[in-house]
């Protein structure tokens, strides 16, 4: 176990004889689970937990096949799984069978990761938690809350990606077409990946993708601060790609199928409070995606950080911590507010014990939550980061603010449908929202 800036590494055993790496900080206060994006690990929240641990219990976990969470090598049952790939496809095997047996084929897919998070909350955290996810972690946070509302008290989405994977869900009509069935017979996305495919990826892409220069350029692209990234940050990212199973994991991530429900369909099943905490200068998950989520979830509180890019928790940790702490405190204070007690009203945190919230939290209008936090609609906070940068936190409506954003929204709505981010009811109007009582049997 390593300690220091990146936090002490703890482990728990999961399926596929895997050892799941996680960090835990804090001894009291509301529980928060932090979910990282693609290519990094739980250590990416090291700038957040050192402050949040003062009045929260914080967990951060490495997703399987990333950071330091890996299955045994070779993957148990991999040889028999590969030999039976065609038979499993013909029988209609579903990605991430809920049985969770290690004898099942391993896909590094959103379904596998969501099952991992369910197990983590049940076995390690041991109680419902506030879940904060960045990028891919935001997508998984939505999927987790949609299928297991009993485990999630509230969601904070940090520039959540609204789509993942290109392969259609394994039970969909599209997946049963001759093209996808033929591809399944050749490579279905499970591990081990055929050596011939791995050789092609390794020869033409792998070393370039994981080179320090590529990673540095990518970080400078997605962060608003264009300063060269710290070498230790790049080294941590490169380290995971040197694991013996890294190339298999990367290829499986690319080739694994989507979840059974689109992102919008998952949003429709949410029942818990939601905070949208988005970096405005993100070139990937641009403001239009936060705006679309706000239209889909009108009761969500939308706070925009600027200047901040795709990973605001790492780039602007003081601003993210202030917003997250105030939002969680506002949620925790709700029973007292309902009883007529003073909820604070200032912009600082409201202190309550975690035991004060016994029943599942229901949504409140964003204006009510913002006012309780001391950040009414159209108002802003200014936070100074450790390096002197000043970051604004603005409570906004989430509507397109210019002709350019309106045109951008129209184009990306079309592309979102093509990528599966927008479901059949995904007009962005918020219509078709379910009661949020979802169950694990109704999702991917």
Ordered domains of the chain (ranges, CATH): 9-75+107-168+261-334+364-415 (3.40.50.1820)
Would residue 276 be called left, alpha or beta, if left means φ above 0 and alpha means ψ between -120 and 50 degrees?
beta
Q: Decide: 115 and 140 in contact? Cβ < 8 Å.
A: no
Inform me whether the pLDDT recorded for 134 exceeds 90: yes
Please, are residues 139 and 63 in contact by the beta-carbon 8 Å criterion? no
Residue 437, classified by CB atoms within 10 Å of its CB into exposed (0-12), middle (13-18) or buried (19+), is exposed
Strand stretches in 148-233, DSSP E = 152-158, 190-191
CA distance 114 to 68: 17
Q: What is the CA radius of gyration of the chain?
A: 21
Q: Decide if 352 contacts 332 (C-beta within 8 A).
A: yes
> Higher-confidence residue: 360 or 220?
220
Q: Which two tokens stand for residue 265?
A: 């369909």
The whole-model pTM stands at 0.84
**Residue 175: predicted pLDDT:** 80
Per residue in 345-404, pLDDT (tens digit) is 344 444 333 343 445 578 899 999 999 999 999 999 999 999 999 999 999 998 888 787
- DSSP labels, 368-413: HHHHHHT--TT-EEEEE-TTS-EEEEEE------SHHHHHHHHHHH
- Average pLDDT value for residue range 18-35: 98
- Pair 307, 301: CB distance under 8 Å: no
Q: Say which residue the tokens 């009582």 belong to.
A: 437
Taking residues 7-31, report their average pLDDT.
96
In this predicted structure, what is the pLDDT of residue 353? 36
25, 7 contact by CB (below 8 A)? yes
Phi then psi for 198, rounded to 5 degrees? -60, -35
Residue 80 has pLDDT above 50, yes or no: no
Q: How confident is the model at residue 95 (pLDDT cuts 50, 70, 90)?
A: very low
pLDDT in tens, 223-254: 999 999 999 999 999 999 999 999 999 999 99
Read off the pLDDT of each residue in 109-116 and give the average, rounded to a whole number: 97
């Amino acid at each position: 176990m390593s300690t220091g800036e990146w936090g002490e590494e703890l482990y728990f055993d999961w399926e596929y004889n895997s050892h799941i790496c996680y960090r835990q900080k804090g001894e009291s206060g509301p529980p928060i689970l932090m979910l990282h994006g693609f290519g990094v690990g739980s250590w990416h929240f090291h700038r957040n937990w050192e402050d949040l641990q003062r009045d929260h219990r914080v967990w951060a976990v490495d997703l399987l096949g990333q950071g330091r969470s890996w299955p045994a090598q070779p993957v148990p049952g991999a040889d028999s799984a590969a030999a039976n790939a065609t038979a499993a496809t013909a029988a209609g095997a579903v990605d991430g069978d809920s049985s969770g047996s290690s004898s099942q084929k391993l896909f590094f897919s959103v379904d596998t990761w969501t099952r991992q998070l369910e197990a983590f909350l049940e076995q390690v955290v041991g109680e419902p938690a506030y879940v904060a996810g960045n990028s891919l972690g935001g997508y998984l946070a939505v999927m987790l809350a949609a299928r297991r509302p009993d485990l999630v008290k509230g969601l904070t989405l940090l520039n959540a990606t609204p789509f993942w994977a290109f392969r259609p869900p394994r039970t969909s009509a599209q997946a049963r077409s001759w093209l996808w069935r033929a591809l399944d017979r050749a490579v279905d996305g499970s591990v081990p990946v055929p050596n011939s495919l791995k050789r092609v990826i390794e020869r033409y892409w792998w070393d370039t993708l994981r080179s320090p220069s590529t990673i540095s350029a990518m970080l400078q692209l997605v962060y608003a601060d264009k300063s060269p990234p710290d070498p230790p940050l790049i080294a941590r990212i490169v380290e995971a790609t040197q694991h013996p199973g890294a190339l298999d994991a990367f290829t499986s991530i690319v080739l694994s199928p989507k979840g059974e429900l689109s992102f919008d369909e998952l949003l429709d099943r949410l029942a818990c409070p939601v905070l949208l905490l988005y970096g405005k200068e993100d070139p990937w998950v641009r403001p239009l995606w936060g705006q679309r989520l706000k239209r889909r979830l009108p009761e969500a509180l939308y706070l925009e950080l600027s200047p901040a890019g795709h990973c605001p928790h790492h780039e602007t940790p003081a601003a993210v911590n202030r917003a997250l702490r105030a939002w969680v405190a506002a949620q925790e204070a709700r029973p007292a507010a309902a009883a007529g007690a003073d909820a604070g009203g200032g912009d600082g945190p409201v202190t309550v014990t975690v035991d004060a919230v016994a029943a599942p939290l229901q949504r409140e209008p964003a204006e009510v939550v913002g006012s309780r936090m001391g950040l009414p609609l159209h108002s802003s906070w200014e936070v100074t980061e450790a390096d002197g940068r000043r970051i604004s936190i603005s409570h906004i409506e989430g509507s397109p603010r210019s002709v350019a954003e309106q045109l951008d929204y129209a184009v990306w709505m079309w592309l979102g449908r093509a990528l599966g981010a927008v479901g059949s009811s995904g007009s962005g109007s918020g219509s078709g929202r379910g009661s949020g009582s979802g169950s694990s049997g109704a999702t991917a």
